[in-house]
Structure 1
Amino acid sequence: MAGRILVLNTGSSSIKYELVDVTTRERPARGLVERIGEDMGRLTHRAGDGPPYIRELPVPGHDEGLDAMMEAFAAAGPDLAPGAVGHRVVHGGTRFTKALLIDDNVIAAIEELAPLAPLHNPVNLTGIRVARKAFPGVPQVAVFDTAFHRTLPPEAYTYAVPQEWGVRRFGFHGTSCAYVSRRAAAVLGHDLADLNLIVLHLGNGASATAISGGRSVDTSMGMTPLEGLVMGTRSGDIDPALTGYLARVNGLDSQQVEHALTHHSGLLALTGTRDMREVRARNDDTARQALEIYTRRIRKYVGAYYALLGRVDAIVFTGGVGEHDGATRAASLAGLDRLGITVDPALNHADSTSERAVSPPSAEVPVLVIPTDEEWEIARQAHALIS
Structure 2
Amino acid sequence: MDKYIFCINFGSTSSKFALYNNDQLIAEQSISHSKEELSKCSSINEQLPLRQSYAETFLEQHHMSVKDLSAIAARAGVTPPVDFGAYMINDCMVDRLFNHPLVDHAMNLTPVVAYRLAQGTDILVMTYDSCTTNQMEPVYKISGIPEIERSHMCHTENIRAVAFKTAKKLQKNYEDLNLVIAHLGGGISATAHSHGRIIDSMDSNSGAFSPERAGILPSRALAKLIYSNKFTEAELYKRLEGNGGMLAYLGTADGRDVEKMIASGNKQAELIYHAMAVQVSKEIGALSTDLLGNVDAIVLTGGLAHSKLFVDWIRERTAFIAPVTVFPGEYEMEALALGALRVLNRHEEAQIYQERG
TM-score (normalizing by structure 1)? 0.77
Match 1:123 to one of 103, 109, 112: 109
Q: Which runs of 4+ in 1 moved over 4 A?
A: 36-40, 77-80
Q: Partners of 1:325 and 1:123 in 2: how far apart?
A: 31
Match 2:309 to one of 320, 327, 330: 327
Find out whether 1:141 has 2:123 as its counterpart. Answer: no
Find out whether 1:366 has 2:352 as its counterpart. Answer: no
Unpaired segments ≥5 residues, structure 1: 41-58, 342-364
User: Shift of residue 183 of structure 1?
Assistant: 0.9
Task: Report the 3-state secondary structure (helix = DSSP H, G, I; strand = E; otherwise coil) of the residue aligned with 1:317.
Answer: strand
Partner of 1:68: 57
Question: 1:328-350, CA deviations, whole angstroms, 9 ceiling, x for partnerless residues?
Answer: 1111132446xx35xxxxxxxxx
Find out whether 1:240 has 2:219 as its counterpart. Answer: yes
Further displaced range: 375-384 or 6-15 = 6-15
Question: 1:39-85, CA deviations, whole angstroms, 9 ceiling, x for partnerless residues?
Answer: 69xxxxxxxxxxxxxxxxxx9722322232122112xx899822000
User: Shift of residue 199 of structure 1?
Assistant: 0.7
Q: Partners of 1:271 and 1:210 in 2: how far apart?
A: 31
The 3 A distance-change label for structure 1 pair 37 and 269 is closer
Q: Partners of 1:100 and 1:231 in 2: how far apart?
A: 30
User: Shift of residue 102 of structure 1?
Assistant: 1.5
Match of 2:51, as an amino acid? Answer: H
Question: 1:118-144, CA deviations, whole angstroms, 9 ceiling, x for partnerless residues?
Answer: 1145423442344234x7332210224
Partner of 1:214: 196
Residue correspondence of structure 1 range 49-68 to structure 2 within 5 A: 61-68=50-57
Partner of 1:29: 27
Partner of 2:354: none
User: Shift of residue 235 of structure 1?
Assistant: 0.8
Match 2:270 to one of 288, 298, 304: 288
The 3 A distance-change label for structure 1 pair 242 and 111 is farther
Further displaced range: 255-264 or 105-114 = 105-114
Residue correspondence of structure 1 range 231-380 to structure 2 within 5 A: 231-282=210-261, 283-310=265-292, 311-322=294-305, 324-336=306-318, 340-341=320-321, 365-371=322-328, 372-380=330-338
Q: Partners of 2:341 and 2:318 in 1: how far apart?
A: 41
Q: Partners of 1:383 and 1:246 in 2: how far apart?
A: 48
Q: Partners of 1:254 and 1:35 in 2: how far apart?
A: 25
Task: Report the 3-state secondary structure (helix = DSSP H, G, I; strand = E; otherwise coil) of the residue aligned with 1:68.
Answer: helix
The 3 A distance-change label for structure 1 pair 145 and 246 is same
Q: Partners of 1:37 and 1:68 in 2: how far apart?
A: 21
User: Shift of residue 211 of structure 1?
Assistant: 0.9
Task: Report the 3-state secondary structure (helix = DSSP H, G, I; strand = E; otherwise coil) of the residue aligned with 2:68.
Answer: coil
Match 2:145 to one of 155, 161, 165: 161
Q: With CA pairs under 8 Å and 6+ residues apart, which has the higher RCO, 1 or 2? A: 2
Q: Partners of 2:276 and 2:222 in 1: how far apart?
A: 22
Backbone CA RMSD of aligned residues? 2.8
User: Shift of residue 273 of structure 1?
Assistant: 0.8
Task: Report the 3-state secondary structure (helix = DSSP H, G, I; strand = E; otherwise coil) of the residue aligned with 2:121.
Answer: coil
8 Å contact 2:5–2:72 — kept in the other structure? yes
Find out whether 1:85 has 2:72 as its counterpart. Answer: yes
The 3 A distance-change label for structure 1 pair 202 and 335 is closer
Aligned residue-pair number:
331
8 Å contact 1:9–1:124 — kept in the other structure? yes
8 Å contact 1:87–1:141 — kept in the other structure? yes
Partner of 1:49: none
Unpaired segments ≥5 residues, structure 2: 39-47, 347-357
The 3 A distance-change label for structure 1 pair 199 and 154 is same
Match of 2:122, as an amino acid? Answer: G
8 Å contact 1:7–1:18 — kept in the other structure? yes
Further displaced range: 312-321 or 236-245 = 236-245
Task: Report the 3-state secondary structure (helix = DSSP H, G, I; strand = E; otherwise coil) of the residue aligned with 1:89.
Answer: coil
8 Å contact 1:90–1:144 — kept in the other structure? no
User: Shift of residue 12 of structure 1?
Assistant: 4.9
